[in-house]
Structure 1
Amino acid sequence: MSQIIPAPSRPASPRGLLSRLCAVAVIGLVCAGLGACSGEQFQKGYILPQGALEQIPIGASQDQVLIVLGTPSTVATLDGEVFYYISQRTSRPVAFMNQSVIDQRVIAVYFDKNRQVRRLANYGMKDGKIFDFISRTTPTSGQEMSYLTPLFKLLSFN
């Protein structure tokens, strides 16, 4: 009968063990690095609660607006008072890249002299132009005069 004699086992060399540990460490770092590169989204400014604009009818008081929407981002007091709620949403596909703007919103609540809601507007970006999402209108240029208009009129030879 033949007997199989096992080969003497060799202890793992420190060099082989070190190279395996380095390989595992490199794989772990690559996986952690790729996990950190996933896309992110950021919300800056005011976050509009779901269904909040429907709770503010025309004619509502200024106090009711403050209860529903909270403190505005800024206030204007020209021809009555206007509350502005400003927000911006940005994203970046990879952690180390610059952020790009996905959406910008300005919710404007216009009040009359009696401090009651006269009009609501939800301005945003649509195709690179300011757009009112409530009335579905885009402002058009009218007879605004810049400081260059009189200069061009003087230089024209008509």
Structure 2
Amino acid sequence: MAKQHQRAGTSDVAAGHDTRPRRRPVAAALALALTLGLGGCGGYFSETFQRGYVLPEGALEQIPIGASQDQVLIVLGTPSTVATVSGEAFYYISQRTERPVAFMHEDVKDQRVVAVYFDKNRKVQRLANYGLKDGKIFDFVSQTTQTGGEELGYLRYIFKIVG
């Protein structure tokens, strides 16, 4: 014969039914939501931002000393700024920053200024790739730190504005 239905007035507990609320699925969903939400606070989700000029691989090697300004413009494109401090120079400025979490402040990780110096005939006289090394403006092409002068003052000004 078929299973007898529960009589009116008897409780589920007496009939052997579990009356506790189902908390495991709710707890699992809450744990998953917290894990995903707080996961963004770790280093795995940091953002990197590249601003300004991105130097193509091998671009400086394509510009020999004595090349014309037009050749420089073809290879490197329009400069970020042009200076006529002591002769003409093209400056290509870039900065890479990182932000560990969306609402945090960005930290400058790298800052570069590629400089192309021209002589009075508008031919390339010298190339430089300046960056910050130990807090000083450093030329990564010639491996030298700049000394005082008008040019260093201008470079400090650029690094101060960009950074």
C-alpha deviation, 1:11, in angstroms: 7.9
- The counterpart of 2:61, out of the listed 35, 54, 65, is 54
Q: 1:153 maps to what in 2?
A: none
CA distance in 2 between counterparts of 1:75 and 1:9 reads 86
CA distance in 1 between counterparts of 2:113 and 2:16 reads 74
Equivalent residue runs for 1:6-155 within 5 Å = 10=17, 16-17=21-22, 19-37=23-41, 38=44, 39-141=46-148
CA distance in 1 between counterparts of 2:18 and 2:141 reads 76
C-alpha deviation, 1:96, in angstroms: 3.1
Between 35-44 and 64-73, the greater mean CA deviation after superposition: 35-44
Q: 1:151 maps to what in 2?
A: none
CA distance in 1 between counterparts of 2:112 and 2:16 reads 71
Q: Does the C-alpha gap of structure 1 residues 70 and 141 become closer, same or farther in structure 2, counting only changes over 3 Å?
A: closer
Structure 1 unaligned spans of 5+: 1-6, 143-158
CA distance in 2 between counterparts of 1:48 and 1:130 reads 18
Deviations 1:8-43 (A, max 9, x none): 684877xx34x4454233223223223433322221
In the superposition, the TM-score normalised over structure 1's length comes to 0.72
CA distance in 1 between counterparts of 2:106 and 2:134 reads 19
Q: Alignment partner of 2:37: what SS?
A: helix
Q: 1:3 maps to what in 2?
A: none
CA distance in 1 between counterparts of 2:39 and 2:58 reads 35
Identity in percent: 68
Q: Alignment partner of 1:64: what SS?
A: helix
Q: Alignment partner of 2:65: what SS?
A: coil
CA distance in 2 between counterparts of 1:42 and 1:104 reads 12
CA distance in 2 between counterparts of 1:78 and 1:140 reads 16
CA distance in 2 between counterparts of 1:122 and 1:99 reads 24
User: What count of residue pairs does the alignment treat as equivalent?
Assistant: 133
Over the residues paired in the alignment, what is the CA RMSD in angstroms? 2.4
C-alpha deviation, 1:136, in angstroms: 1.3
CA distance in 2 between counterparts of 1:24 and 1:71 reads 56
Following TM superposition, where does structure 1 have runs of at least 4 consecutive aligned residues deviating by more than 4 angstroms?
7-13
